[in-house]
Amino acid sequence: MDADIRILLDKQACTELVYRFARGLDRCDEAVLRSVFHPDGTDDHGYFKGDANAFIAWVLPLLRTMERTQHVIGNVLVEVSGDEAWSESYFVAYHDVTDAAGQALRTTVAGRYLDRFERRGDEWRIAHREFVSDWSASDPRSDMWDRAAGGDRRYGQRAPHDPLYAQGFSAAGQAVAA
């Protein structure tokens, strides 16, 4: 295969892992999150440092305390060298929570994921991820749009209740026959 095409395919495979991680977080889908990391992969979120399996066991209960989340991936720059790759991926994450006083808040975190990927066999996965927070804010949340729009509104849900799963998507992010 032409070397340039191989590099493009490798970059795309790594980029899709970044997207899949965001899906796994927002759907609280353990299988999706596990599919992103090598079994011996590690994660450094600052307040959590350890192996990826322990990260998943730590983050899912935390996310389930939130009413909804959305992790939006922005710029993804990937550099490939043989069976290793590195990326810097920008994200903005929205977390709908209710504080102890009962106030509905939207906490926004913007930052970057710094990933080191390894291709083992024919499969790319994250070997190490580092979370970098660039800024954050918490603001009162309003459901004004929901009231103004009227009618039934479909909201994102946790796995397996999100409409995504009714479409037949697998943990690997591929559509499967229903």
- Name the amino acid, one letter, at 44: D
Region 97-122 average pLDDT: 96
| 167 vs 73, higher pLDDT | 73
With contact defined as beta carbons under 8 Å apart, do 56 and 141 qualify?
A: no
* Average pLDDT score over the chain: 90
Helix (H) or strand (E) holding 56: helix 52-64
Peptide bond into 160 cis (omega under 30): yes
Angle at 12 between CA 93 and CA 84, to 5 degrees: 95
Mean pLDDT of 61-67: 96
All domains of the chain in start order, with CATH:
3-144 (3.10.450.50)
> Which comes out higher in pLDDT, residue 60 or 153?
60
pTM above 0.85, yes or no: yes
Torsion-angle region of 10 (φ positive above 0: left; ψ -120 to 50: alpha; else: beta): alpha
How many Cβ atoms from other residues are within 10 Å of residue 92's Cβ? 15
**pLDDT of 168:** 77
**Burial environment of residue 29 by CB neighbours within 10 A (0 to 12, 13 to 18, 19 or more):** buried
CA distance 75 to 19: 11
Rounded CA-CA distance 158/176 in Å is: 19
Q: For residue 6, what are its two tokens? A: 């191989």
Q: What is the pLDDT of residue 160?
A: 82
pLDDT-derived band at 118, boundaries 50, 70, 90: very high
Q: Report whether pLDDT(171) > 70.
A: no
